[in-house]
Amino acid sequence: MGGAIAHLYVQVMSAAQSVLGVSEAVAQVVEQAQKSVVRVQARHSHRGDTTGIVWSDGVVVTASHGIERDERIGVIDDAGKQVEATLAGRDDGTDLAVLRADTSGATPLVFAELEGVKVGHLVLALARPGRTVRATLGIVSVLGDGVRLGHGGKVDRFLQSDADTPRGFSGGPLVDLQGRALGVNTSGLLRGGALTVPTTTVRRVTEELLSHGRIRRGYLGVGVHPVRLPPGVEAQIGKRMGALIVAVENASPAERARLYMGDVLVSIDGHAVATPGDLAVLLEERIGVEVEATIVRAGKVEVVKVTTGQRA
């Protein structure tokens, strides 16, 4: 009996040491990463402040919905130093905003791609909505393919964790146990939930905003709604669904090309269109170029050439 108790004691102590080791490792990750996590003051006082991440020297990335004003923006770093910041650009489609500020003394956070990340891996959500850093621990709960969100935004991978992200955590990083950021947390893209905008998307949007101050997207200037094609048209073109044009903007590329309400858009440059999302994806990188729009008008299939415009 004495030997069994001694063996159990050794197992318990070994497990305790392992837990303590993990605990210390997590604390060290927070201690190192917090040097890159800043407080962003750009909201009305009753709403509280939000979090930002030092992306590179002089550049801070944060959540767009946390920037309620474009002027009088302040950034406070880990040492308590407060500096003024200017808005370089924002993209509501991915809920990212980029600020320019004096970040000397702060350390840019290392961002990592999602290769090797699996559902179940431990992660930390960090934030600085007040003077001190806050952290919550969780696991990667969802890791999926790219998805298009509202306002034409697209994230390259769909990433969620079960780490708690209360008010003020938006704009902060999701960090792995190596201290690398996997993306930027936000509660501004999903109704009633939060997700992490992955590194690939953050890098793409940040570079675009720093270069142009906005995300350039092609557009036609139409509102569309999915619709079932008539059997005769379906048999002719081999497509079951199309996108009914329900609105045409004044002076838009669509109006100039003489597209009308009631036309059914079925493809752009041969690529099928059945939903607003389909159209947004196809137009995203087609800016100021001529495209062939296949439409159904009064039961007849026609091809209309349209020169796309540009919309931020």
- Give the pLDDT confidence score for residue 16 in this predicted structure: 55
Token code pair at residue 231: 């059997």
- What's the pLDDT at 25? 87
Which of the residue ranges 4-8, 37-41, 188-192 would you say has the lowest mean pLDDT? 4-8
Q: Between these two residues, 188 and 192, which has the higher pLDDT value? A: 188
pLDDT number for residue 253: 95
Which carries the bigger pLDDT value, residue 150 or residue 301? 301
Whole-number Å distance between alpha carbons of 97 and 210: 10
- For residue 142, pLDDT beyond 80: yes
Q: Take residue 119 and report the two structure tokens written for it.
A: 């559902």
Q: Which residue, among 191, 210, 306, has the nearest Cα to 253 in the 3D structure?
A: 306
How far apart are alpha carbons 222 and 21 in whole angstroms?
A: 58
Q: Which domains are seen in the chain, by residue range?
A: 21-213 (2.40.10.120), 217-311 (2.30.42.10)
Q: Kindly report, residue by residue over 34-57, the tens digit of the pLDDT.
A: 999 999 998 764 567 899 999 999
Q: What is the pLDDT of residue 158?
A: 94
Stretch 2-27: mean pLDDT, rounded?
A: 66
User: Which of 275, 312, 249, 309 is closest to 94 using CA atoms?
Assistant: 312
Report, as residue numbers or ranges, the catalytic residues: 65, 95, 170
Please give the residue that has the higher pLDDT: either 146 or 97.
97
Higher pLDDT, 151 or 311: 311
Instruction: Tell which phi-psi region holds residue 20, choosing left (phi > 0), alpha (psi between -120 and 50) or beta.
Output: alpha
| pLDDT, averaged across the chain | 89
Res 70: pLDDT: 80
pLDDT at 18: 65
pLDDT (0 to 100) of residue 168: 92
- For 204-259, the pLDDT digits (tens) are 999 999 998 988 888 899 999 999 999 988 888 888 999 999 999 999 999 999 99
